[in-house]
Amino acid sequence: MDVSLARALSRLPDDHDTLAVVRDVLTFMSHHTDEWIPAADIAQRTGNLMLQVRPVLNTLRDAFVLDFDDAPEAFRYRYDVGVSIEVDAFLNRSRAHENHMQTNVARFRERYGAS
């Protein structure tokens, strides 16, 4: 049985846009622990398209990172120590990477202009 965030991430494309959606979904869901939230609300409240959010939610569900209820197609994040450690580590790495990229862009603009 595949039960972990790492396994879920290994099943998703490793591109910036997908990882940004994963980060948005995990951040949102971890702030709403134990709440059943419809998929459409997750997409809307994270500011992502349903087309982007659905594969992420389904993969997180398949890896048992999120719980799923068929009617009304809602997802829930229940606190689990192991998953929480993985989520926190992923979010910290992701934020550090974003900060690094923003710093590099700022340095480039500083040196070569913003054209």
User: Does residue 101 contact residue 108 with C-beta atoms inside 8 Å?
Assistant: no
* CB contact at 8 A, 52 and 17: yes
- Spatial neighbors of 4 by CB under 8 A, at least 6 apart, are 63, 65, 82, 83, 86
pLDDT digits (tens, 9 = 90+) for 75-86: 999 998 989 999
Q: How far apart are CA 95 and CA 57, in angstroms?
A: 20
Q: What is the pLDDT of residue 107?
A: 72
Q: How confident is the model at residue 52 (pLDDT cuts 50, 70, 90)?
A: very high
Prediction pTM value = 0.80
pLDDT digits (tens, 9 = 90+) for 7-20: 999 999 989 899 99
Q: In whole angstroms, what is the distance from residue 113 CA to residue 108 CA? A: 7
DSSP calls for 68-87: EETTTTEEE----HHHHHHH
Percentage with pLDDT > 90 across the chain: 64
Residue-wise pLDDT for 55-71, tens only, equals 999 999 999 999 999 87
- Residues contacting residue 62 through CB under 8 Å, at least 6 positions apart: 2, 8, 11
Q: How far apart are the first and last CA of the chain?
A: 51
Q: What is the average pLDDT value for the chain, to the nearest integer?
A: 88
Q: What is the pLDDT of residues 93-113, one digit of tens each?
A: 887 767 656 676 667 777 777
One DSSP character per residue, 97-111 reads HHHHHHHHHHHHHHH
